[in-house]
């Protein structure tokens, strides 16, 4: 048990090597002072109900023992295929859905620490104003019956933060300007806007109450290629202007590389690899990460050395209601050994004693395997 505790504490350590290990069990830990969010052993199990009496016959482990932290001002990407629990993790963190267990510690700008999972509904509401959320599909996330002014102004109105209509319009105009939209558009309805413009409106709404922390769930996946780039650049610019912290949920590894400082690769509800994006992409330590990176098709521009050996994984993502024993990835793993079928690997820090950036991997053979990443430009 003591060993397991040590592992979790490492997950929560700040990216800078902390001077002394922190044996404290939870919360009050001075070394994590610049973390906006510390998630510890987060779990979400959905019951599987069957029959007339809705008896529970099983459970889907959508998120199973997930721990990570997000430092102020950084971008952590959660990446994985559909059904890996990345969206559920994002929602549990905001308590948009109730987690089944674990803790989520949120630190406000003034240093006050709040345990999100322990809050009552009204308390939660007051904390949620420090968090924004951006969704995938800007066609369904905006109410078609409200004008842009009403959509973006809604958080001010429901929280009674603004007294006069004039002030509200000024705030909304300012927000529209910050997402590079013409403020005169505020009386229009969402249908008058293109997909990219709608996503800008959704971003303006997420930023309305000046949050510290923004969860962005596949914000560019539904957009056209040329518009995706605009939104990605906007998100990057806003981050440096407003000192935002992003939890960025996506399946697109090119976007992860472009936007995130650190990345957490998820597979069937668990984190299989977590660390600096550049080091993971250059040299992944988990076979699943390697396969994901090699599966991404690349444009053949004729540059030397771009062709990579492609690893084709057999079969499909495991069913989270019927997780394979041992390592969840073993049925698809090209490097599978006998131990993988029996014993579940733990998430361990490879960097550990070396004092370099933490790099967590959940694989029995993380040390031995020499896995291939994507070539990074030398400069």
Partner 1 sequence: MTQAPLLLSVDNLATHFFSQEGILEAVDGVSFDIHAGEALGIAGESGCGKSVTAQSILRIVPKNGKIVMGEISLFQNGESVDLVQLDDRGQEIRQIRGGEIAMVFQEPMAAFSMVYTIGNQITEVIRLHQDCSQNEARERAIEMLGRVGMPKPEQTIDAYPFALSGGMRQRAMIAMALSCHPALLIADEPTTAVDVTIQAQVLELMKDLQRDMGMALIVITHDLAVISELCDRVMIMYLGKDVESAPADVIFRDPKHPYTVGLLRSVPELGEGHSQELDPITGSVPSPYRRPAGCPFHPRCPEFIPDVCDVHLPPQIELAGGHRVRCHLYVQD
Binding site for partner 1 (CB under 8 A): 81-82, 194-197, 224-230, 232-233, 251, 253-255, 257-258, 260-261, 277-278, 281, 291-302, 306, 310, 312-313, 316-317, 374-377
Write down the least CB distance from residue 207 to partner 1, Å: 20
User: Crossing angle of helices 165-178/148-158, nearest 10°?
Assistant: 120
Write down the least CB distance from residue 227 to partner 1, Å: 5
Write down the least CB distance from residue 265 to partner 1, Å: 12
Write down the least CB distance from residue 311 to partner 1, Å: 8
Smaller CB separation from partner 1, 174 or 376: 376
Smaller CB separation from partner 1, 59 or 261: 261
Smaller CB separation from partner 1, 63 or 292: 292
Write down the least CB distance from residue 79 to partner 1, Å: 10
Please state the three-class secondary structure of the chain as a single string.
CHHHHHHHHHHHCCCCCCCCCCCCCCCCCHHHCCEEEEEEEEEEEEEEEECCCCEEEEEEEEEEEEEEEEECCCEEEEECCCCCCHHHHHHHHHCCCCCCEEEEEEECCCCCEEEHHHCCHHHHHHHHCCEEEECCCCCCCCCCCCCHHHHHHHHHHHCCCCCCHHHHHHHHHHHHHHCCCCHHHHHCCHHHCCHHHHHHHHHHHHCCCCCCEEEEECCCCCCCHHHHHHHHHHHHHHHHHHCCEEEEEECCHHHHHHHCCEEEEEECCEEEEEEEHHHHHHCCCCHHHHHHHHHCCCCCCCCCCCCCCCCCCCCCCCCCCCCCCCCCCHHHCCCCCHHHHHCCCCCEECCHHHCCCCCEECCCCCCCCCCCCCCCCCC
* Furthest C-alpha separation in the chain: 69
Smaller CB separation from partner 1, 10 or 257: 257
Write down the least CB distance from residue 221 to partner 1, Å: 10
Smaller CB separation from partner 1, 103 or 357: 357
Smaller CB separation from partner 1, 112 or 300: 300
Write down the least CB distance from residue 145 to partner 1, Å: 22
Smaller CB separation from partner 1, 54 or 191: 191
Angle at 123 between CA 117 and CA 125, to 5 degrees: 95
Write down the least CB distance from residue 34 to partner 1, Å: 20
Smaller CB separation from partner 1, 127 or 313: 313
């Amino acid at each position: 048990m003591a060993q397991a505790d040590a592992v979790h504490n490492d997950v929560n350590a700040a990216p800078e090597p902390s001077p002394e290990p922190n044996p404290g069990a939870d919360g009050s830990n001075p070394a994590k002072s610049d973390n906006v969010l510390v998630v510890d052993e987060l779990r979400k199990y959905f019951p599987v109900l069957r029959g007339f009496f809705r008896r529970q016959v099983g459970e889907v482990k959508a998120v199973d023992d997930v721990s990570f932290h997000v430092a102020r001002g950084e971008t952590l990407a959660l990446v994985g295929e559909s059904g890996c629990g990345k969206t559920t993790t994002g929602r549990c963190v905001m308590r948009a859905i109730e987690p089944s267990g674990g803790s989520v510690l949120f630190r406000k700008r003034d240093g006050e620490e709040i345990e999100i999972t322990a809050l009552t509904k009204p308390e939660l509401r007051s904390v949620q104003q420090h968090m924004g959320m951006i969704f995938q599909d800007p066609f369904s996330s905006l109410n078609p019956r409200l004008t842009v002014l009403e959509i973006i102004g809604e958080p001010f109105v429901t929280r009674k933060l603004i007294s006069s209509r004039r002030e509200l319009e000024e705030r909304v105009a300012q927000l529209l300007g910050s997402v590079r939209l013409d403020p005169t558009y505020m009386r229009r309805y969402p249908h008058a806007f293109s997909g990219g413009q709608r996503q800008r409106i959704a971003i303006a709404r997420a930023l309305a109450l000046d949050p510290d922390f923004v969860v962005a769930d596949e914000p560019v996946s539904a957009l056209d290629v040329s518009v995706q780039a605009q939104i990605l650049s906007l998100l990057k610019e806003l981050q440096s202007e407003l000192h935002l912290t992003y939890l960025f949920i996506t399946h697109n590894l090119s976007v992860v590389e472009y936007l995130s400082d650190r990345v957490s690769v998820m597979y069937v509800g668990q984190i299989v690899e977590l660390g600096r994006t550049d080091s993971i992409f250059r040299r992944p330590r988990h076979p699943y990460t390697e396969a994901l990176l090699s599966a991404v098709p690349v444009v053949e521009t004729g540059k030397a050395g771009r062709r990579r050996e492609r690893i084709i994984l057999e079969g499909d993502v495991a069913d989270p209601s019927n997780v394979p024993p041992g390592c969840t990835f073993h049925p698809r793993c090209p490097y599978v050994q006998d131990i993988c079928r029996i014993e579940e690997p733990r998430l361990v820090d490879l960097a550990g004693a070396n004092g370099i950036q933490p790099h967590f991997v959940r694989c029995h053979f993380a040390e031995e395997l020499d896995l291939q990443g994507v070539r990074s430009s030398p400069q």
